A and B are shown apart, each in its own frame.
Chain A
Amino acid sequence: MKRLLLLIAFILAAPLSAQDSLPPAPYAYKQLDDPRQEAEAKALMETLRCLTCQGQSIADSDAPMAGDLRHQVRVRVARGEKPEAIRAWLIERYGEYISFKPEVTSSTWPLFALPALLLLVAVFVFRNKLGKKA
């Protein structure tokens, strides 16, 4: 009976062990010593999505996933990798979704055609609707 109770207690406690008890990666909450590199890393982090949060970048989140990615970005920047190379590497691993900065591709071109179209419309409005004298 006692063993049964113990077993039930363990089963109930199972979700606890699923919590990540690992300490955060070293550079998740630590800045790089070189301020120029840190600024570069920060700028990149602000354009990467925290995949487990909603709408926040990895620079704005306490989520473990965001911490791990901050560590990755800082370590790679410190190693001398270019920010755009790190972005490409992350996109390769996690898909386009991770980057807040859409590139012009076959699936995103309308986003870039839109402002151009709007500029044309604006020019048209001013030339044709307002060009005539009152």
Chain B
Amino acid sequence: MIAEFGLAALWLAAALAAMQLVAGALVLRRDEPTLAALVRPAAVVQGLLAALSFGALFLLFVQTDLSVRLVAENSHTAKPMIFKIAGAWSNHEGSMLLWVAVMALAGALIALIEHRLPERTLLATLAAQAFVSLGFYAFLLVSSNPFERLSPAPPEGNGLNPLLQDVAAAYHPTTLYFGYVGLSVAFSFAVGALLTRQVTPDFARAMRPWVLGAWIFLTLGITAGSYWAYYELGWGGWWFWDPVENASLMPWLAATALLHSASVLAARDALRAWTIMLGVVAFSMSMIGTFLVRSGILTSVHAFAVDPERGSFILALLTLYIGSALTLFALRAGTVAEGERFSVTSREGALVVNNVALSAILAIVLVGTLYPLLTEAFGIKVSVGPPYFNPVSALFFLPMLVVLAIGPMLRWRRDSLGRVQNEAVLLGVIALLVLAGVWFNTSIGLLPLLGLALSVAVAVGSVLPLKGRSLRRLPLAVWGMVVAHFGIAVAMFGMSADSAFTKEKLVAATPGETVEVGPWKVTLETVEPVAGPNWTALEGVLVASYKGGKPKQIAPQSREFWSPVQKTSESALLTRWNGQLYAVLGEEIDGGRWQIRLWWKPFVTWIWYGGLLIGFGGFLALLGRVLGDLKRRNLQARIARRRRTAADEEQAA
């Protein structure tokens, strides 16, 4: 009954999206108040229905209703509740339903609260949003119905991939999806502005919170995904330039560029056409990411859907959206006036460096990811991996970091480097000191060396904009920028330190034996069997002490799940402020000796602390913008009320 209810709600939501699209499109042609009045309510009700539909699926997973195919294939009665719930979106159909539900709710929110834009522009935006949603509704209803029944119902479900039975893994796809949806909203705003020729600072201000929100989710999603790969795969790697990772990085790069160009448009009415273009590109990247992950074109733990029909459907949607948006852009871009001008040394100039560098890195990641797929179609298999991506993206990333350290101190429109001379020299000296200090003490690769030097300079540079300003009166958005830029420096420092100073030790140890790795002394005490709710494991008990300090116990496991059958190694981590000890238990070899892998990874955790800081900076900026908007709206309402009462009193007199 719940399943049928969910399916009905989904059909109704799709019908409302169709109405929203048609009414919105007709209003664009000629002014029809009756039709125009339909669009906002349609968006609100569509949002509610789509949310109800996802709620129904959620309930089916909570109850483990095995007569629904999706539940039977992805869940199991013996699974912990937190993973039963995650089962609702840890599969193709469920994740697509979550996507449309969140997208429809976003549309409803816009319809309810957005009153800053000209009404026609807003209706065009909602119509564009409905256009995008309709494709997803069709996709769900035609080729991936999440509510399909099984008759007869199986006695037990299949379970969930053990690698995904992990809190970070269960929740990181949803954060990425929220990011993708936010970018789809930015896309709709861009299309709406283009259709009604309203590429204005107001458009940028209306779009910005959505881009910020999307960007925060993408940042957190990538951070969580990277940490998951780090501790779950058991070898201490945290970024592989794997196509699935690149699929989440590309929308992030585009969103970062869009965020900065939207700020220029909002503050200075410049970079109009470029901001629109980035809005289209950012959403295209999330579609391409979805295509890469969902189509099964890459086979990996993430690509659980291996079905060409779905791949071609997403590809068709992608072509339709991007194709029509780019056509519209080509037709209209000429009529979008260029906007205000500015000189090279100005805040805008620095932000253009940011945009050009991010776009170049995006192009490199995109081509590097798709190129092997392209050559494979011609029968040539090549691999593009870290030895390509690291240096080639650094070519643009490192200069961008230099500008990042200085840019926020520049004034809008026109400035001279002479004014920030002292700060620039200070940062240059800091970078050179770090460079020299590291250079003379150790021998490390060029990229980690430059990374260390620049990250320290950027960390200092990121807080310099606070100099000479009243910290209590500083707008939240500025705090957000400072925190996010500082986060970039922290993450960079972690990445460089990890790649330069990691110590590795692979040993076969008998219980009682002590191994040294970096400053640590690690003793293997025992290896014992343990059992969990749906797995059994061998657990190695290790005692580790840092530079002869107080010993601490860690216990890596080698687990065997039984539904479905799979082996995983659960690494054990010992975290200090300056890094992590990473331990993995391997197999038993020649009777009584156990393979143990140990790493001392200095400052590795700073990578993810940096990621969290970046996300938190975004959150502060978002909060500042939203509160500012609310305050302005209240003020306007109060002024309007006072005017009315004044007019009334005048009339009464």
Contact = CB atoms under 8 A, between A and B. Distances in A.
Contacts of B240: 55-57, 60
Interface SS majority for chain B = mixed
Given A97-B383, A99-B383, A134-B343, A118 B508 contact: no
Contact of B233 (A24, A56, A119): A56
B371 A101 contact: no
B352 A100 contact: no
Contact of A47 (B244, B342, B346, B387): B387
Nearest to B499: A46
B388 A111 contact: yes
Given A31-B505, A111-B367, A115-B364, A54 B388 contact: no
A56 B299 CA distance: 12
Q: Which of A54, A95, A129 has the most CB of B within 10 A?
A: A54
Nearest to B589: A23
Contact of B569 (A62, A102, A125): A62
A29 B504 CA distance: 11
Nearest to B568: A62
Contacts of A119: 360, 395
Given A102-B382, A122-B360, A55 B233 contact: no
B463 interface: no
Contacts of B300: 54-55
A13 to B, nearest CB: 15
A6 B540 CA distance: 38
Interface string A120-134: 011001100111111
Interface residues of A, number: 43
Given A60-B240, A134-B414, A29 B597 contact: yes
B344 A126 contact: yes
Choose among A56, A59, A125 the residue with the greatest number of B CB atoms under 10 Å from its CB. Answer: A56
A29 B595 contact: yes
Chain B interface size band reads 35 or more
Contact of B344 (A60, A115, A130): A130
A134 B508 contact: no
B69 interface: no
Given A55-B243, A114-B367, A100 B385 contact: yes
Interface of B: 233-235, 237, 240-245, 298-301, 340-344, 346, 349, 352-353, 356-357, 360, 363-364, 367-368, 371, 375, 380-388, 392, 395-396, 413-414, 504-508, 569, 586-587, 589, 595, 597
Interface of A: 23-24, 29-31, 42, 46-47, 49, 54-57, 59-62, 95-102, 107-108, 110-111, 114-115, 118-119, 121-122, 125-126, 129-134
9 tightest CB-CB pairs across the interface, nearest first?
A: A100-B385, A55-B242, A54-B300, A101-B387, A97-B381, A60-B235, A118-B360, A60-B237, A130-B344
Given A60-B235, A62-B234, A108-B371, 15 more contacts: A42-B504, A49-B385, A54-B299, A55-B245, A56-B242, A97-B383, A100-B387, A101-B387, A101-B388, A102-B383, A108-B375, A114-B367, A115-B392, A119-B360, A122-B356
20 contacts: A29-B586, A30-B507, A42-B504, A55-B300, A59-B235, A60-B240, A98-B383, A100-B383, A100-B386, A100-B387, A100-B388, A114-B363, A118-B360, A119-B360, A119-B395, A125-B352, A130-B344, A130-B349, A134-B346, A134-B414
